[in-house]
Amino acid sequence: MTATPIALAGIGKIARDQHIPALAADPRWHLAATVSRHAGVEGVDGFTGIDEMLAARPDIGAVSLALPPGPRFAYAAACLRAGRHVMLEKPPGATLAECHALVAMAEAAGVTLYATWHSRMAHAVPAARDWLAQHRLRRVEVAWKEDVRRWHPGQDWIWEAGGLGVFDPGINALSILTAILPVPVHLSAADLWFPENRDTPIAADLTFAHPEGAEVAAVFDWRQEGAQTWTVTAETDAGTMVLSDGGARLAVDGRTLAEGPDREYPGLYARFADLVADGVSDVDLAPMVHVADAFTLGRRRVTDAFVW
């Protein structure tokens, strides 16, 4: 098997934790270059600017962008204009319009655009989708509660406009919800809690309208210390399904139906390789629509200042 050269831009927390190990383990990819203003990977051709890399390495046909959503659009646009396949970290952009613009650019260039949702690759997500397809839904409660200091140490971009605040992890929950519900829901109300010294929310309560009347709600909170909660609970006519550990484990009425190791990022790179081979794109903006609606509909509440 010939490995395809790929460049990785944005060598920060998620690149080190997930992208670099996933690429190293995938025989279909070869990490041939990095783009990062301050960091690099030993033994890999390093560039500080995206235009410089695109000009110097015409042999690299694919670029994975692991930088925050704010600066990501300019990088993605440059890569697509240069005729390279592009893989986007979540969320796929700072705005929906940006994402639509990238889709049009990818189509015009005849290349693959892949908007990844790593949580959809969690082990038990397909089993949850299949189980819900067979039963009548009464109630869904999403609880995504984590410690921002543990997962985003010192990252000020998440508190700046466009950084999404608690929707940065919350959109992972929404990516699962939109993948497992048999019929789509839409947001009907939201309360967003903004620290008095920040531009993005630290917590959010969301209520959704379901076409068949099921109650659907989500609670996101970035102030949870100790044990972390990433759970979707669904009550149905055949029992209560709990998808926990961010989608890794599925149980119904306490009986485990599916559980497995974390293979989210290897799954993303395998899918990107398939999309490129098939000459198609995959850009599902459903999770981002809910986030945009929350900022449109959400009541603004002010809470305590946040300091690291």
11 touches ligand NAP (CB under 6 A): yes
Structure tokens at 226: 């100790």
Query: From CA 240, how far away is CA 139, in angstroms rounded?
Result: 9
Q: Which of 14, 111, 174, 181 binds ligand NAP (CB under 6 A)?
A: 14
Q: Is 90 a catalytic residue?
A: yes
Site for ligand NAP in 63-82 (CB under 6 A): 66-71
Indicate left, alpha or beta for 253 from its phi (over 0: left) and psi (-120 to 50: alpha).
Answer: left
Select from 53-61, 95-103, 151-159, 232-240 the region that touches ligand NAP (CB under 6 A). Answer: 151-159
Q: Which of 51, 95, 155, 235 binds ligand NAP (CB under 6 A)?
A: 155
Site string for ligand NAP, 105-144 (x = CB under 6 A): -------------x--------------------------
Query: From CA 87, how far away is CA 276, in angstroms rounded?
Result: 10
SS3 readout for 25-76: CCCCEEEEEEECCCCCCCCCEEECCHHHHHHHCCCCCEEEECCCHHHHHHHH
Residue number, 26 or 264, with CB nearest to ligand NAP: 264
Q: How many residues bind ligand NAP (CB under 6 A)?
A: 24
Q: Which of 3, 5, 39, 217 binds ligand NAP (CB under 6 A)?
A: 39
Query: From CA 171, how far away is CA 180, in angstroms rounded?
Result: 14
Site for ligand NAP in 165-204 (CB under 6 A): 168
DSSP for 223-272?
A: B--SS-EEEEEEEETTEEEEEEGGGTEEEETTEEEEE----HHHHHHHHH
Residue number, 235 or 262, with CB nearest to ligand NAP: 262
Q: How far is the CB of 253 from ligand NAP (least distance, A)?
A: 31
89 touches ligand NAP (CB under 6 A): yes
Residue number, 11 or 203, with CB nearest to ligand NAP: 11
Is-contact 177 97, C-beta < 8 A? no
Catalytic site residue from 90, 123, 210, 249: 90
Question: Which one-letter DSSP state was computed for residue 147?
Answer: B
Q: How far is the CB of 9 from ligand NAP (least distance, A)?
A: 8
114 forms beta bridges with 87, 282
Which residue has the CB atom at the shortest distance from ligand NAP?
12
Q: How far, CA to CA in Å, does 266 sit from each of 22, 25, 75, 116?
A: 5, 8, 23, 12
36 touches ligand NAP (CB under 6 A): yes
Residue number, 5 or 12, with CB nearest to ligand NAP: 12
Q: Which of 6, 8, 10, 221 binds ligand NAP (CB under 6 A)?
A: 10
Which of 185, 85, 181, 62 has its CA nearest to residue 125? 181
Q: Which of 5, 12, 162, 267 binds ligand NAP (CB under 6 A)?
A: 12
153 touches ligand NAP (CB under 6 A): no
Which of 158, 265, 160, 264 has its CA nearest to residue 220? 158
Query: From CA 263, how far away is CA 130, in angstroms rounded?
Result: 20
Query: From CA 165, how far away is CA 272, in angstroms rounded?
Result: 27
Query: Interface residues with ligand NAP (CB under 6 A)?
Result: 10-15, 36-39, 66-71, 89-90, 118, 151-152, 155, 157, 168
Catalytic machinery residues: 90
